[in-house]
Amino acid sequence: MIITMKAKRIVGMMLIAIAGSLIGVAVYSGLTKPKTIIVQKDTATPVQYAGYPASGYVAPDFRLAAQKSIHAVVHVKTVTNYKQYAYDNIQDWFFGNPRTFYREVPGYGSGVIISSDGYIVTNNHVIDNSNSIEVTLNDGRVVKAEIIGRDPDTDVAVIKIKGDEFPFLPFGNSADMQVGDWVLAVGNPFNLQSTVTAGIISAKGRNPGLIGSNLQNPYAQQNTDTPRSFIESLIQTDAAVNPGNSGGALVNLQGELIGINTGIASQTGSYIGYSFAIPSTIAKKVVDDILKFGEVQRVVLGIQGGTVSQELVEKKNLKVSQGAYVSDLTEDGGSYAAGIKAGDVIVAVDGKKITSFAELQEIITPHSPGDKVDITVNRDGNEKTFTVTLKTQSGSTKTVGSAEFWAYLGADLEKLSEKDLKKYNISYGVRVVKLHDGKLKSTGVPEGFIITDINKTIPVEDVQDVRSAIERHTGNRPVLLEGLMPNGRYAYFAFEK
């Protein structure tokens, strides 16, 4: 083939044009190429599921926590004998002479084994007023339990079963848990043994008014700024909790006990999206004190107040919108001695921010008498920090056990057995087993006397009820003991506290 010079020039010009175009495209691409973004991938091994592409998302694994928890959570069954009255004829009704009879009412709940030798933590409202308690273990064994101690102010109680080498859950630190963390609720809702539900922590420091008398009406409206004796700073979670879950475990993904499920706020009585648990920081303090001292060594700051609200900010011309407002102080309290004044807003404890009165309670409750805490307040827009020595409600920094009280009362007491209850036709009571020098002996109470009620309004279900009723008695009236003599006749004894 003969190629003319003209054709060569045309081909050469075409090759030059093509090369130029390629160079131009390369230069343009280099100028317009976006910056490379390096994404830091999670170093954990992703959990992949069949049918789903690899995404780098690490799914939470609940199996370890569930397996550890279900063996340590037990079913608690109680029986309560309620006293009732009936009139056999109109004459008895007219003269006020009713016939007394008792009706057995069963109750159900959950509990968590916290030691290998059978100590169990549950809710006070689960075992309150019960005449007998049975515990069903996860392996199906049914054993009797006894009450070791209880604290109505936090709704925590400790019971015990005989034996050893029980599976148990260790306490975790609820203060380390954050909103959004995964948790499991383990219990026995509707008598369905060993039920596990999952959710996240929805909020902390809630005080919905569940603890105390409102457990019978959990959706009653509460004024959260009104001081109450109940300690309520609860963990809110969306893990499903229903009747029967009370006293069960709220655990983290490591299988540590970070809360005791205590109730729900519902107008139906069943779960509607959120539930509440007592933080482990509070529950562990109560349990430790009951086992060590026989009672809770409760400390107080010596203040009254409530959570700062917008209404309070405007009314008191406060300079902060969050915190615990101090409306009054007790003269013998640690806060007054440290220099805190009415009108101050507590904004931090030991450097930890405080946004509500409930949060303040949660931080203070685990402490013991004599502990010192740094309280930061906002006073007229300026922050000041005071070191407060925590005291008991009686104004003492001394930790005391039950020995001092029983020495004062001068008596050894025991809860009546089921056999004795039937013998005397009563549903509750404690017997004076032995007398020493003290109040009861000087009052004339004999050995063998059965105390059934104190001040006509407080039923004596167990030995601790005697102490609680007498210690809380105030006023000028004497303490009135009602009960049965050893021969079965009713008698009353009264003494000045």
Residue 21 has pLDDT above 70, yes or no: no
pTM over 0.85: no
In the predicted model, what is the mean pLDDT of residues 153-157? Answer: 92
Residue 370 has pLDDT above 60, yes or no: yes
In the predicted model, what is the mean pLDDT of residues 260-281? Answer: 84
Lookup result for tokens 């059934």: 452
User: In the prediction, which pLDDT does 18 show?
Assistant: 53
Count Cβ atoms below 10 Å from residue 345 Cβ, excluding itself.
25
User: In the prediction, which pLDDT does 80 show?
Assistant: 84
Residues catalogued as catalytic: 125, 155, 246
Residues linked to residue 182 through DSSP beta bridges, in sequence order: 200
DSSP 162: S
Highest mean pLDDT range out of 286-300, 369-383, 426-440, 448-462?
Answer: 369-383
Distance CA 72, CA 443 (A): 47
Residue 352 has pLDDT above 50, yes or no: yes
**472 or 72, greater pLDDT:** 72
Of 10-14, 258-262, 333-337, the least confident: 10-14
In the predicted model, what is the mean pLDDT of residues 416-427? Answer: 88
Domains of the chain, start order: 60-295 (2.40.10.120), 299-392 (2.30.42.10), 403-495 (2.30.42.10)
pLDDT level of residue 29 (50, 70, 90 thresholds): very low
SS3 state of residue 45: coil
What is the per-residue DSSP string for 73-115? EEEEEEEEEEEEEE-SSHHHHHTT-PEEEEEEEEEEEEEEE-S
User: Which residues 6+ apart lie within 8 Å of 13 measured at CB?
Assistant: none
pLDDT level of residue 44 (50, 70, 90 thresholds): very low
Residue 101 has pLDDT above 60, yes or no: yes
Which residue type, as a one-letter code, is found at position 347?
V
Distance CA 127, CA 474 (A): 27
Smallest CA-to-CA distance from 186 within 177, 178, 195 is with: 195
